[in-house]
Amino acid sequence: MAISGVLGYPRIGANREWKKALEAFWAGKLDQTAFRQTLREIRIQHLRKQQEKGIDVIPVNDFSYYDHILDTAAMFGLIPKRFGYEGGPVPLHVYYGMARGTKDAAACEMTKWFNTNYHYIVPELNGVSPAVTENKPLIAYREAKAELGIEGRPVIVGPLTFLKLSKGYKPEETDEWLNRLLPLYVQILKELAQEGVEWVQIDEPILVTNVDAEDRKRLQLIYNTFKASAPGLKIMLQTYFESAEDYTDLVRLPVDGIGLDFVHGYAGNIQAIRLFGFPADKVLGAGVIDGRGIWKASLQEKLELLKELEGHAASDQLIVQTSCSLLHVPVTVIEERQLLPELKGALAFADEKLDELVVLVKGLTAGEASIASELEACEKSLNALRLSDERNRTAVHQAVAAINAQEARRKLPFQERYSLQQKTWRLPLLPTTTIGSFPQSAEVRKARQLWRKGEWSGERYTAFIQEQIDTWIRLQEEIGLDVLVHGEFERTDMVEFFGEKLSGFAFTQFGWVQSYGSRCVKPPIIYGDVAFEAPMTVNETAYAQSKTVRPVKGMLTGPITIMNWSFVRDDLPREQIAYQLAYALRQEVEALEQAGIGMIQVDEPAVREGLPLKKSDQADYLAWAVKAFRMTTCTVKDSTQIHTHMCYCEFHDMIASIEAMDADVISIETSRSHGELISSFEHNTYKLGIGLGVYDIHSPRVPEIEEMTGMIDRALRVLDPKLFWINPDCGLKTRGYEETAASLRNMVDATRIARQKYTLLV
């Protein structure tokens, strides 16, 4: 008989109880005992909810005090020496020091978890000796059994994935590190087996990426070792986020079950099963409910898929489960009272996905007739949204089809545009600017809140925003910046601001998801056809331009970033959603230009984040991502200068695509990566305007002039000074007034020094 299973549950709680507890502890408002007790209560509540919903396979050790990769590093004692760790269970001050930094030690690096919007803490292996500090999966298993009688399935990040996501070792040292870690994993598994644990889930999402022959050998070694060391313990080898690579090798591994993603990896995984079948001696974890998306599943379609899978894996060898952990979705739809009925009816967050699993198992075991009412209600809900006016904007469909058929290209090539723009703007060598936002003080946030509550009129709020713009335009002129910005004081979030002004978007009240640590976000929902309604940024930008003779940049968020930082509809290809966004944003670009704004920045920090995990799919994605950007910007006059900004990603393997975007100027973070990006330009020429950030805005310190001149000098060894801009890494929204002003003054002083040096060389 088929059973239901979950790969992981959201940590944060329906009301972000987890987040609030962490921040209270960090602020000294909760002592350690009270803090641990609070998190324990949250953890037990989550387990109880799954149990009461009727989930058969409930994960344990998926809960975390911050991040599951950090937990794995702590479990194996992989603590960088700068944190003063002396062995044994890792103290909370060390654990959180790794995540957040201390006054004496920089935090560990943080980066994206595969192609999701969740960030993990990158383990550092250099200079440390691994050892088991405590068996966290065993502790979690005991707690669930003692408190609720749950026979939980411990979740562990697999050794190959853990190694591949770590830093601080050379590729040729991979096997050496694997040999160090394997005995520790064996110890964990042996202790679980001795406790009487039946199943353990070992997550190896790295197996959906391009796995080479050496890694396939390592996999064989890993799982042969596990089987030999703990033969009585059943292993569910779990993949997700895409289809498994090397399916035939994967199913031959000595494990008792294999979990496959039949949502985001549907095409590859179903094709493999149809071609090669599935081993009769293994359990199939069928990930049919989307762990990353927020849409209600078509239960009828999922039931048909599961019936097909039953033809390859016996029903008593089938687990109906989520495609990945539910970490990536909000907790529940129930309290959302401001959404359109047809939209709310089509949503399924974590708790609703638990219900979907239970219904599907019932349909498989008791027959389709037993869930007839659920099937009918599901299709009715999905049809209501499918047939809604929001998803059937004929004018948008026709316009997007028309511009898609045209070549998205500026009239003149860059070099000719550059000459026109130089005559128009007469900028000095190494022009200075900022990325867009300036500090949002408590006063700014309070004013926005009063306006949203209706306690301030629109006129009063507008006057307040204009006062902020006045202050910062004067300051930018005083500091000596060449290209100014209005400061974005009217904006909360760079995606939310535009989503609130475009048709086709919706916003939840409680749809929070974890981004990193206690940082939670409420992604907008793109649920309908995206349409431009009215100018969104013209008033503030034109007002700022009226206050200065220096150029003021218009500031927009680009189509790919808006898409990648939102929950998007699942009835259209993402390419089409990107083109709808591009068409809407093009109208905003044109409105800015018509208002006299001749420099327009269209930020795309999330282009890299949407890159598919399969190399075979990456070129196609980059092609339409570039096209969407060009659709947005290609209709302006050649004298209008288009800027873009990207931050905190590895760009060395997509510089050609960045250049293909044909922005006149691109600014890219480089100071946080200690200039590593500059080495990319030592091997790849870049012929357009570029600014590599000369100081890290996330660090609460004022950078010295010498630091920035050093960064400028290194960049100009490989980049053309005539095309080089000088700017901070990113927006300055989170910084304070005094440090922002001091940092920008130092940046302008560093620029003056560089101009004296390089003017003679140009």
Residue at 500 is within a domain: no
Q: What is the pLDDT of residues 518-567, one digit of tens each?
A: 999 999 999 999 999 999 999 999 999 999 999 999 999 999 999 999 99
Judge whether 652 is annotated as a binding position.
no
> Is residue 249's pLDDT more than 70?
yes
Tell me, what DSSP letter sits at residue 107? P
pLDDT of residue 734: 78
Residues of the chain with pLDDT > 90, as a percent, come to: 86
Residue at 520 is within a domain: no
What is the mean pLDDT of the segment spanning 294-315? Answer: 95
> Is residue 672's pLDDT more than 60?
no
Q: What is the pLDDT of residues 482-491, one digit of tens each?
A: 999 999 999 9
218 and 71 within one domain: yes
Beta pairing, strands 153-157 & 257-261: unpaired
481 and 381 within one domain: no
pLDDT of residue 655: 82
> How many CA atoms, within 13 angstroms, populate the side-chain half-sphere of residue 248?
3
pLDDT of residue 673: 55
644 and 687 within one domain: yes
Q: Which of 360, 389, 418 is the last residue of a domain?
A: 389
Residue at 517 is within a domain: no
Residue 416 belongs to domain spanning: 408-491+537-564+571-761
Count: domains in the chain:
2
Query: Which residue in 448, 438, 690 sits closest to 544, CA to CA?
Result: 438
Judge whether 565 is annotated as a binding position.
yes
Residue at 521 is within a domain: no
Catalytic site includes residue 698:
yes
pLDDT of residue 599: 97
Q: What is the pLDDT of residues 333-350, one digit of tens each?
A: 999 999 999 999 999 999
- Contact yes or no for 374/366 (Cβ under 8 A): no
> Is residue 513's pLDDT more than 60?
yes
pLDDT of residue 40: 98
- Contact yes or no for 2/319 (Cβ under 8 A): yes
Residue 87: band (very low, low, confident or very high) from pLDDT cuts 50, 70, 90: very high
Annotated catalytic residue, options 93, 397, 674, 698:
698
31 and 118 within one domain: yes
Tokens matching residue 342: 């047809």
CATH number of the domain encompassing residue 12: 3.20.20.210
435 and 342 within one domain: no
Residue 735: band (very low, low, confident or very high) from pLDDT cuts 50, 70, 90: confident
Judge whether 17 is annotated as a binding position.
yes
Q: Which of 332, 354, 389 is the last residue of a domain?
A: 389
467 and 415 within one domain: yes
Q: What angle do CA 314, 318, 322 make, to 5 degrees?
A: 155
631 and 702 within one domain: yes
Q: Mean pLDDT for the chain? A: 94
pLDDT of residue 675: 56
- In the block, tokens 């093009």 appear at 586
Residue 641: band (very low, low, confident or very high) from pLDDT cuts 50, 70, 90: very high
415 and 375 within one domain: no
Judge whether 29 is annotated as a binding position.
no
Beta bridge partners of 320: 4, 286
Q: Which of 362, 389, 416 is the last residue of a domain?
A: 389
Query: Which residue in 150, 142, 136 sits closest to 46, CA to CA?
Result: 150
Residue at 527 is within a domain: no
d(CA 153, CA 257): 13
Residue at 609 is within a domain: yes
Judge whether 730 is annotated as a binding position.
yes
591 and 453 within one domain: yes
Amino acid at 461: Y
What is the mean pLDDT of the segment spanning 113-126? Answer: 95
Residue 649: band (very low, low, confident or very high) from pLDDT cuts 50, 70, 90: low
> How many CA atoms, within 13 angstroms, populate the side-chain half-sphere of residue 322?
31
Q: What is the pLDDT of residues 379-391, one digit of tens each?
A: 999 999 999 999 9
Residues of the chain with pLDDT > 70, as a percent, come to: 97
421 and 281 within one domain: no
> Is residue 647's pLDDT more than 90?
no
Residue 762: band (very low, low, confident or very high) from pLDDT cuts 50, 70, 90: low
Q: Is the torsion defined by CA of 506, 507, 510, 515 positive or negative? A: positive
Judge whether 86 is annotated as a binding position.
no
d(CA 186, CA 184): 5
Beta bridge partners of 556: 602
Q: 287-301, 529-543, 601-615: which range is least confident on average? A: 601-615
Residue at 283 is within a domain: yes
385 and 412 within one domain: no
739 and 593 within one domain: yes
- Contact yes or no for 50/56 (Cβ under 8 A): no
pLDDT of residue 190: 98
Residue at 402 is within a domain: no
